[in-house]
Structure 1
Amino acid sequence: MSRQKSSRKIQTVLGTIDAEDTGIALTHEHILCDASFLFTEPEIASQKLLSHARVSIENLEWIKRNQNRCLDNLKLLNEERAIIELDRFKKGGGGTVVDVGNIGLHRNPKGLARISRATDVNIVMGAGYYIGQSHPSELHSKTEDEIVEEIVRDITVGVGGTGIKAGILGEIGCSYPLKETEIKVLGAVALTQQKTGVPVNIHPGHSQAAPIEIIELLNDNGGDINNTVMSHVENRHGNDFDLTSELADLGASSSTIASVTPKIQLCSPIKQFMGSLIGNG
């Protein structure tokens, strides 16, 4: 007897696929991105050379402590390298990668499509805006409705003139405290989710209070909390499992809390965090 597929569809950069056809999926990745807006050049003269050097095994330890002071560490622009890495993922049984780069992280629809074709890996592309520091100046004058219209178009028509559609709202960047434009974007994201049913992925600000504050704001604006992913929780809540439990309780049992870090080199106690989650059931 053949397995009957559900009606659930996932939008990839090459078109829609059945949810059952995703295979093993990486749900928060950056295949191609440019976060150079975060770059801060060191004041110490001896470190200036390091800040403009390519990432290598020789400078890796320094980069782990200075991730935003190495320009090369903030960029993933090499399509050929991405193809090599995703080929490994495919050969290992992988099927789908969610690239949560959006406006602010210089998403590259055509590049992602080329990589998907070359590797036969499904790629889901992000929509919306990253953190306020990366927001374009014109966002300040845009209304919430205008932002909704823009994001809905990226999902239903395609980004720019490419015809390549986004399949996830995210990662939606937030600072702490939230900036004015970030609050406006979160409201627009909730409205967009109502119109499209697309899942949301949140990048919370660097505070223990940030994840819960954002979930409450999305909920107040009509967002679907059960279809929302809160990323980087291990960096925000640390070992405070009570906060993580409270975050889950704000939604429903199906709410998703993600423990993921960016592709850039960071020091993060993920093992301890995951151990805490497992240990607490």
Structure 2
Amino acid sequence: MTNVLITGANGQLGSELRALNSKFLVANYRCFFTTSQDLDIADFEKVKKFIESKNIKVIINAAAYTAVDKAEEEKESADRVNHLAVEYLAKISKEHDIRLIHISTDYVFDGKNYRPYVEDDETNPNGVYGATKLAGENAMRAINPKDSIIIRTSWVYSSFGNNFVKTMLRLGKEKDSLGVIFDQVGTPTYAGDLAQVILDIIGSAASVPANSTKNTVQIYNYSNEGVLSWYDFAKEIMKMAKLECKINPIETKEYPTPAARPHYSLLNKAKIKKEFTIEIPYWKESLDTCLRIMGERK
């Protein structure tokens, strides 16, 4: 039995990983799910003691400070979770030969690209959230724990937690019309799909794929397939849930926020599909799955 530490257990991805716990057990993995209340991952000594006492061999770091706008004011809090904690996990993983799988974000890019981002494109975050996530990535890559990977994802939603899909469902039942941004383009990620991919990855081999030539931390992009705006996403949510709320397209400048969002954050998933031989569902299929689980598909 291989012991696995999963941080951020109450978040969207952590909750989806917990829902797969029976599959982890079948695959001979014993999971330890922790929250910030159970285990402060920014406390090096406590984390080290926990990992050693539980004989952890794989860490899935699904914990993050994700309040994008709030991060502009709470820079230290965001940096503590998104950067320092990742650095500590990487150091402990390096020392104990642990495989670390860390979840990052499309916000490490500035959104000015003209084609889907590949993993080695230049990073240039627009705000504190993206900057702290990139700092965490860079710390992990510098420490270079064995066979470890970073997965960048975008527009995450789930039947668990708070997210865009749940917000649209709530507002769609309360209002006759809504304005939703149409000039930010990317692809949503159903956290249930990402959780399954992570399970497939840690079960596929004990190390980074053989055709990966660099003995370094590998970065992979993951989101569902397809291209859309937040406006398109909201329209489809209303359609599938059979809500009469009219969705009107608005520009980003009409909905100002403290933190700038990438206008274009489409991720190229060719690398993860090739190296781990996975198929990624189309975004509408995954939205349908999530809404059915929530009992909102009409």
TM-score, normalised to structure 2, is 0.36
The structure showing larger relative contact order (alpha-carbon pairs under 8 Å, at least 6 residues apart) is 2
TM-score, normalised to structure 1, is 0.37
